[in-house]
Amino acid sequence: MTGGREFLRNELVAVASVVVPDQEPVVTHDPGPVNPGVLFDGRGAATVCRVSVETGNPKDPDPAAAVSAAAEALRARGWNAEVSAPEDGHYRVAASRDGFEVAVHAWASDWRITFTGETPLVS
């Protein structure tokens, strides 16, 4: 589980660094392995890790360019990435690789770009 978590965290930071090269990405969420179903149906020891990273260019935000660059960077690193059509100023990319899932979000009303990922479920 630790290997998958580290892989995901490193991938998110690396892609964020490509998208906004002159900013230092910040890991904003990394609580470690959690059991996503335990409160709902009492499932056993299956765990998942979720990691979020933020970056952005406050001087020149361009959410469309950011998600396009994120998709290109993810593809260059072996991810299957798809850019969704913008909705009400919300731009996003969904990507997957070997059971890992990543979403990149950017908004016309905010200079920040959020990279969120999840490891495969491990029993």
* Contact between 41 and 53 (Cβ < 8 Å): no
DSSP 111: S
CA 15 to mean position of chain CA atoms = 9
Q: Structurally, how many domains does the chain consist of?
A: 1
Q: Is residue 46 in a domain? A: yes
User: Which pTM was predicted?
Assistant: 0.89
Domain that holds residue 25: 2-118
Instruction: Answer whether residue 123 is part of any domain.
Output: no
State pLDDT tens for residues 65-103: 999 999 999 999 999 999 999 999 999 999 999 999 999
Q: Residues 7-23: pLDDT tens digits?
A: 999 999 999 999 999 99
40: domain CATH number is: 3.30.160
